[in-house]
A and B are shown apart, each in its own frame.
Chain A
Amino acid sequence: MRVYGKVGRIVALTASVGLLAAATACSGATSTGDGESKTFVFGASDDPKTLDAAYVSDGESFRVIFQIYETLVALKPGTTEVVPSLATDWKVSDDGLTYTFNLVKDVKFHDGEPFDAKAVCYNFDRWYHFKGAQQNGDISYYWQTIFGGFATQDSESAPKTSRYDSCEATEDSVATLHLKQPSSALLSGLVLPAFAIASPKAIEEGGTDLAINGDSIAYTGGFGTKVVAGTGPFKFVSWDRGEKLVLAANETYREGKPALDRIIFRPIADATARMQALQAGEIDAYEGVAAADIQAVKNVGQVVERPAFNVGYVGMNQKVPLLKNHKIREAIAHALNRQALLSAAYPEGAEVANQFLPPSQWGYNNSIKGYEYDPEKAKQLVAESGEKDLKLEFWYPANVSRPYMPNPQAVYESFAADLEKVGFTIVPKTVPWTPDYLQSIQADGKGQLFLLGWSGDYADPDNFVGTFFRETTPQFNLTDPEIQGLLNKGLAETDQAARQKLYEEANQLIFDYIPGVPFVHNRPLLGLGKNVSGYQPSPVSLEYFKLVKIEG
């Protein structure tokens, strides 16, 4: 058959499709030109939940909120030191029940409303009068941590009493907080973005409705999703969920207009994909540089590290009979090759942990040596323990990256192999991080061995060891009068030197008891483009984009 006539034309057609693709390809790379306007694109791992600060406690929401709103007191960049912000100075009464804040003057919210003592008290009263679903522990987590309960107790899980009494606008620029009980953590707590002061008009006009359906929360109000107004260096512009969230410089910011004209938050869930986006110049910065990607990021930009203000640990639930045996716990501590894991899978700055407290936090006990990696000793301890059935469930969270644990599955696989080498039989258990994992481990105490960790919110040892062990929590099920007594004493004590001694003592007891094996204090990494400067990493992950500059 000789019917080849049209083949040539068809081939040409195919070729031209290819050419079209190539032509398109070439132009794609040139679409980033932006003239003089300085735009900073941050590769986030997810969208914020909402920009209503009082409703959230997650890092992605806080990162954006931190740029738009301000709090009464703030952190000195890169530290955990409390410095003035919307309050220029403050006085605490001797009984610790009255806080008088002198406020900055002539400041306006982004919607043009004046910032004054009334606005401050409006916000505090709003939080205190949270009702129903708003009292859910996930929604008003930080209010409950710092102030306790609400005007009324609508939810069984909400604290019964509140430390908050009232807020009084004594003068236009003086706000006075009255407490029912003193709290040593109050000022450190007020730096959290959850206590950001928002425009009362925006709150009222936008609306703050919530709809709770099981674990899912719908922010049905317009405030925080459509209407957003704070006093911060950047103003909310637009939010295209899943694609980008845009902020613009606040021209009238009280410290002067920031160097950046625009900030764009772009959600890319996967850390490798974020790295590739940085390589391609599509983003200027991202959080969560994998240890294996450090060199690749350095080739196109910079890697900066946050101070190690966290701890990752293998928890051991004392409800489990096998884990009640001290020899078994000791065996596990000696079986885990923590250094090998950190050298292989963590960035260089990561340190093997032996206490549930980072070394930079006062209260850390410098005389504790740590558990040696010694599989032979572990085997011997297992033999001495007299236990025959060495089967344990080992829980790890799926598809999540935490500051202390960039890749939980890798940690699990490594530790499980270590434990099987000394004779344990490990049964893997994995569920998604939220809500299942946290719920299973922290609330239901389903874990036997489990991976978890903590990133400090503020610089107080109680924020670490107190959270874990002061009370009997479902995750550890540890009831030890001595440890718990020391930790409660530490919280009540007001003398700094005495507190430090108490916490050091408690850390020794915890180390001896082995309710879990801390394995890492990690230094979380951020990747930045070559032309980015002024990015100041923060131990508590709150970084000021108003300090960031971008060249070219």
Chain B
Amino acid sequence: MLRFVARRLLQLIPILLGLSVLLFAWVRALPGGPAQALLGEKATPAAIEQIEAQLGLDRPLWEQYVQFLGRAVRLDFGASLQTGRPVLEEMARRFPATIELAIAALVIAVAVGIPLGYLAARRYGTWLDSVLVSGSLLGVTVPIFFLAYLLKLVFAVQLGWLPTAGRADPRAYAEHPTGFYVLDGIVTGNLPASWDALTHLILPAIALASIPLAVIVRMTRASVLNVLHEDYVRTAEAKGLLAGTVTRRHVLRNSMLPVTTVIGLQMGVLLAGAVLTETVFAFAGVGKFMADGIVARDFPTIQGFILVIAVSYVLINMIVDLLYGLLDPRVRVS
């Protein structure tokens, strides 16, 4: 097991290095170069020269890359052009919000997606199957931000069931020691605050969940269908095991393996989708900060965001692989 973990970690290195090269190239290719991107359009030639010297842009390319890597490893992306504060600080403050949202979306996607996918497989070829499959196809073709607007218009504005914007009711009192608002309420013994934060999460989380939900439905369906065709299921049936036992023992457990992988992969989709959803719901997470950064051409922020998301994406995938290994001994052996 340890060797498996070590090998997976080693495999990460070339990916991360490659990613840093890609980002380095991206920063170099920015209009006017990195100094201009840091200084903005007002930069005087003298200021650019000074910054270029400071950043070592007059040195050979490989030396610059090493320097860039050094800063990237320390997560030093410079100051955000929007706020003037270090990108790392800005991201750290907003990251809990996005993680909270992504988890909520994932919970919805899994809790709804797996049963629906299972249902579709079990009713393979019926109208219910067609409806579920078409619905899941629809889920990936509706632009997230459009869905988010519609949800807000109907459930927050017209029906007034849920709040339209933000992470918490501004009038309510709450302390935020961790930055995870739902958790904060529990930690500080302020359950109404947790509840309030939860209501603010629902709509953005549903919008964000649309794509993962659709993918999980179809993945579960395909996977369950595969398992249902496996010999051991037929054997179990032939042995006269009760239908319920077959389901629990074999079908669900075995079909969950590929679904786990997909769930991990969906984290990336969720983090990227947060850029759109958070903007619609004025949800103060990293996604919204990134979207504002695009408008303001805040390159240090875009750069930091991409690196952080990519690294967490790769790490999550690794963890999923490890989990996969735990669930399926065959993987560990190979």
Contact = CB atoms under 8 A, between A and B. Distances in A.
Given A14-B116, A218-B79, A436-B41, A211 B84 contact: yes
The 8 closest A-B pairs by CB, nearest first: A214-B39, A242-B284, A28-B199, A218-B84, A215-B40, A5-B244, A216-B84, A25-B161
A512 interface: no
Contacts of A3: 122, 228, 237, 243-244, 246-247, 251
B195 interface: yes
Nearest to A264: B170
A10 B119 contact: yes
Contacts of B118: 7, 10
Q: Which of B41, B172, B200 has the most CB of A within 10 A?
A: B41
A270 interface: yes
A213 B160 contact: no
A426 interface: no
B164 A213 contact: no
A277 B228 contact: no
A290 B192 CA distance: 35
Contacts of B202: 21, 24-25, 28
A7 B81 contact: no
Nearest to B298: A216
Contact of A436 (B82, B162, B171, B297): B297
Interface in B291-318: 292, 295-297
A2 B84 contact: no
Contacts of B111: 13-14, 17
Interface in B143-183: 152-153, 155-157, 160-172, 176
B93 interface: yes
A440 B237 CA distance: 75
Given A3-B251, A276-B152, A399 B282 contact: no
Given A10-B118, A268-B165, A276-B152, A282 B170 contact: yes
B282 A273 contact: yes
A440 B41 contact: yes
A270 B171 CA distance: 20
A435 B243 contact: no
Contacts of B176: 240
A218 B82 CA distance: 10
Nearest to A17: B111
Contact of A282 (B93, B108, B164, B292): B164
A292 to B, nearest CB: 15
Given A5-B242, A214-B43, A214-B81, A282 B166 contact: yes
B277 interface: no
Interface string B94-134: 10000000000000100110011011001000000000000
Interface string B10-41: 00000000000000000000000000001111
B163 A435 contact: no
B89 to A, nearest CB: 10
B71 interface: no
A28 B202 CA distance: 10
A1 B228 contact: yes
Contacts of A266: 166, 170
B325 interface: no
18 contacts: A1-B237, A3-B122, A4-B122, A5-B244, A17-B112, A21-B202, A24-B198, A25-B199, A26-B161, A213-B79, A214-B47, A215-B39, A242-B94, A273-B164, A276-B164, A280-B164, A435-B42, A436-B297
